[in-house]
Amino acid sequence: MTTPETAGAPAFDARTFRHVVGHLPSGVTLVTTRTPDGDHGMTASSVTSLSLDPPMMLACLNRSSSTSMAVSAAGAYAVNVLGQGHEHLAQQFAAPSRDKFAGVRVTEGVLGLPLLADALARIECTVVEEVHAATHTIFLGRVVDAKADEGSPLTYFRGGFGRFEFARDDAVYQRARQQVLERMYAADAVLQLDDLAYQLEVERPAAFYALTRLTADGLVRRDPDRGYVVVPFDSRTSDETFDARCAIELGVLDMVVGRVPPDELTELSSRFATMAALLVGDRFVDFDRYLDANYAFHEGLVSLAHNQSLTAAFGRLSIKTVMTRSFGVTPVTSQDFIDAQRQITEGVGRGDLATARGGVLRYTELAKQRVRQILAQTGGRL
């Protein structure tokens, strides 16, 4: 019989394993403890609840970490669940340092352990068993005290920190966005949190989440005196944005056409194909995905110049906001857009500057005209 430690070599290497397990998303915690030497703590994501009755947790800590040794010596540990915006703490506690707790607000728990005052949740445990497996020790802990506060957690996925989002909150945001786009609220109107919650028939946190996302979209802005205000939109705003993109893209084409390496041409064609597939006939298959794909195509075009200033200027254009506010209002569009973008892609592919430039100018005119049509249909203001 084989045990995990005597089994033969796996059919994949450590890098592959790290990459694959990185697809399992997790929360992020600080495991903390106190010994006569002082306070100890480390960032840990391999922490989970084990049983409800009795209440138990487990934490998998690398035996070589100083915190693991300290937990073993103290016979107790606390799990501090990190909240959104705590990336700096996760980083601070993931690197060896003599004073990891510098600048951290700490309180003392019932077991005398250091607890992170601003954590989303704090769970104190006494160690009931230590299981050694490979490089780690699994500390089985009996929960002595547990407290949670309101807030969103910090998450970890494929080596990066992120945010958690309830699927139901996303649906509320989508509804709120549709209402703003369909001009259910007048331009420059104040959106009160309670009114929006009532209107959408949801709790305040979900309405607040929607407002935050609408603000990030540029559909709503936070006015220091008036609160959340619906951002007005007109054809001058969209014309300026499309003209600015046009100027950047024409400049990029002048710089690169005839000199684009084959792998970058393939990438541009593939971005074009992804975008084209999301527009069937004269309808968007899924506007949000189309918007992302359209953005990726134009960003890909600009990045052919390998010029960070140009890429950053393109990123500042609020293209997505302008497109959401205009094209996002109706599922109807036109294959003419794809034809113009195909012309750009083919022109770049053949090293034919005049064709590629013509495509950019045509696309820009089409976009400006289409916004005018949509504005006319919706009464001039969105």
Ligand X SMILES: Cc1cc2nc3c(=O)[nH]c(=O)nc-3n(C[C@H](O)[C@H](O)[C@H](O)COP(=O)(O)O)c2cc1C
Which residues contribute to the site for ligand X (CB under 6 A)? 28, 42-46, 60-62, 65-67, 90, 94-96, 156
- Beta strands 29-35 and 76-81 are antiparallel
Give least dist CB 110 to ligand X, A: 23
In the complex with ligand X, the residue whose CB is nearer, 96 or 103, is 96
Give least dist CB 163 to ligand X, A: 14
In the complex with ligand X, the residue whose CB is nearer, 42 or 344, is 42
- CA dist 189 → 127, 178, 200, 337 (Å): 57, 16, 17, 33
CA-CA distance, 196 to 187, in Å (whole number)? 15
Give least dist CB 56 to ligand X, A: 17
In the complex with ligand X, the residue whose CB is nearer, 161 or 295, is 161
Q: What's the one-letter identity of residue 283?
A: R
In the complex with ligand X, the residue whose CB is nearer, 162 or 218, is 162
In the complex with ligand X, the residue whose CB is nearer, 164 or 198, is 164
In the complex with ligand X, the residue whose CB is nearer, 42 or 191, is 42
| Closest C-alpha among 294, 297, 305 to residue 270 | 297
Give least dist CB 95 to ligand X, A: 6
Three-point CA angle 183, 185, 188, nearest 5°: 105
Inter-axis angle of helices 353-377 and 235-256, to 10 degrees? Answer: 170
Give least dist CB 288 to ligand X, A: 29
Strand boundaries in 7-105, DSSP class E = 26-27, 29-35, 38-44, 47-51, 56-62, 76-81
Query: Cβ atoms within 10 A of the Cβ of 187, count?
Result: 15
In the complex with ligand X, the residue whose CB is nearer, 38 or 315, is 38
Query: Cβ atoms within 10 A of the Cβ of 333, count?
Result: 19
- CA dist 152 → 65, 208, 298 (Å): 28, 13, 34
CA-CA distance, 90 to 96, in Å (whole number)? 12
Give least dist CB 111 to ligand X, A: 19
| Closest C-alpha among 265, 282, 251 to residue 366 | 282
Give least dist CB 133 to ligand X, A: 12
Give least dist CB 216 to ligand X, A: 25
Three-point CA angle 39, 40, 43, nearest 5°: 140
In the complex with ligand X, the residue whose CB is nearer, 93 or 228, is 93
In the complex with ligand X, the residue whose CB is nearer, 60 or 304, is 60
In the complex with ligand X, the residue whose CB is nearer, 42 or 374, is 42
CA-CA distance, 38 to 218, in Å (whole number)? 48
Q: What's the one-letter identity of residue 46?
A: S
Give least dist CB 168 to ligand X, A: 27
Half-sphere exposure of 167 (CA within 13 A, CB side): 0
Give least dist CB 312 to ligand X, A: 29
Per the CB < 8 A criterion, the answer to whether 200 and 185 are in contact is no
